[in-house]
Amino acid sequence: MQRVRIGGVGLVVALGSLSACSPAKSSTASDAGNDAPTCTTPFAGDPGQAPQMELVAMGMNNEVTTLQEGSGVPLMFPPQAGRVAFVGVHAKNVDPCTVELTAAFKDPVSGQVRLDQRLINLRVADGGMAYSAPGAINLWANIPVCPNQWSQQDAIGTTYLLNVTLKERGGREQNVHMNIVPYCGDPTDEDCTCICRAGYQLGQSCVMDGGMMDAGDGG
């Protein structure tokens, strides 16, 4: 385990630490960009320097925020339904082509994990930074958090462990993990808090009760 400093923030880096978690969802290579097998994007940064990686999240209007220890992570409504956390990377000194991105939320109470794993081609900006492009959700991990049928805690406003691994096609891996706090990323999303509560069951309805969202009986 080692500690790196990116953007003035110290992060714990532990290679291979995600292997102890049991995958709950694993995307296939079909999640990669259409050009993933034939990517010719040049190396991002200096191959003679150590890789650097920081985590980012995407929320409303494709706004991207850098994640630090204790950061809030927005949960968004994706095309596949439910609520997910869009988590990506900004990296330097890495091969951006056909990288394997694995990102997971872990409930520290139960030890249960929800993850997303996909092959992607990172974009490369001037200056040599490889990144998950805003708006291109296939270049982001789509961590399935809600409906919350897996955690013993409410998914909103509660601390979870976020663990992200970036594996280059040459086999080199970088891993960053930190504590984060999910929140409903769309203020107009009336069902988010309800379906993200611990113990929510599919078929329950979310109804207004005294101005608060409650899960009612599905019958």
What's the CA gap between 108 and 120, in Å, rounded? 29
What's the CA gap between 172 and 190, in Å, rounded? 42
Contact 207, 216 (CB under 8 A): yes
In degrees and rounded to multiples of 5, residue 82 shows phi and psi of 75, -160
pLDDT value for 219: 35
Token readout for 162 is: 């976020």
Pick 60 or 215 by higher pLDDT.
60
Whether 51 shows a pLDDT value over 50: the answer reads yes
Instruction: Label residue 60 by pLDDT band (50, 70, 90).
Output: very high
CATH of 2-186, one of 3.80.10, 3.90.1150, 2.40.50, 2.70.50: 2.70.50
